[in-house]
Amino acid sequence: MNKKLFVISGSSGVGKGTVLKGFLERNPEFMLSISCTTRSPRPGEVDGVNYFFISKKEFQYCIDNNKFLEWAEFAGNFYGTKKKYINQCLEDGKDIILEIETNGAMQVKKQMPEAVLIFICPPSYETLENRLRGRHTEDEDTIQKRLDEVKKELKAAENFDYRIVNDDLETAITTLESVIKGEMEKC
Ligand code: 5GP
């Protein structure tokens, strides 16, 4: 049976991580891809679990040597998914979920048209701004950069296969489950 690749994007603070966590707890057979990033770990984040935290030099080496399936600069840091890592997961028979921003999602769709793109939307821009500030994990400059990205991402969401509004967490998780199950049945 063909293994599927799902890409989930959504603006910072939209709660996509929480929706995804809920989905993965109920569907542990899916694997969440681990990305490379040049940003510093947040408290509690572990190398090789949340991300592979690498230097800018190492990231540039991977770009120059075509090692990434996709990569993007986001709010001053670099993020990317290694081709080798994804191919290995698919060969191992795993259905994979990538949680990445929209530029990267479009690159994946170009290279792997069978990938399914899902965007998690906020109920409104204002809700998102409040959630982002409420996290208290970033300074004002970082928050502003992230809000600029939000506007761009909401525009990019128009090109996604599915859009799920995260107004109520439980509803968002069950909608994500039915979208993914529907796609799996097409295999
Ligand atoms: P954070 O710094 O909050 O963990 O992530 C910032 C943004 O980078 C999020 O929108 C997240 O989905 C995205 N991101 C994480 N990993 C990757 C990746 O490998 N590629 C791309 N293009 N974006 C990523």
Question: Does the predicted TM-score (pTM) go above 0.95?
Answer: no
pLDDT in tens, 2-19: 689 999 999 767 889 999
**Structural domain range at position 13:** 5-185
Ligand 1 centroid to Cα of residue 52, in Å, is 12
pLDDT in tens, 146-181: 888 888 888 899 999 999 999 999 999 999 999 999
Ligand 1 centroid to Cα of residue 160, in Å, is 17
For position 137, which CATH number holds? 3.40.50.300
Residue whose pair of structure tokens reads 């592979």 in the numeric block: 52
Tally of CB atoms within 10 A around 110:
10
**Ligand 1: nearest atom to the Cα of 103:** 22
**Ligand 1: nearest atom to the Cα of 146:** 6
What is the dihedral sign for C-alpha 139, 22, 83, 9?
Answer: negative
Quote the number of domains for the chain: 1
Mean pLDDT along residues 79-106: 95
**Ligand 1: nearest atom to the Cα of 153:** 10
Residue 88 tokens read as 């290995």
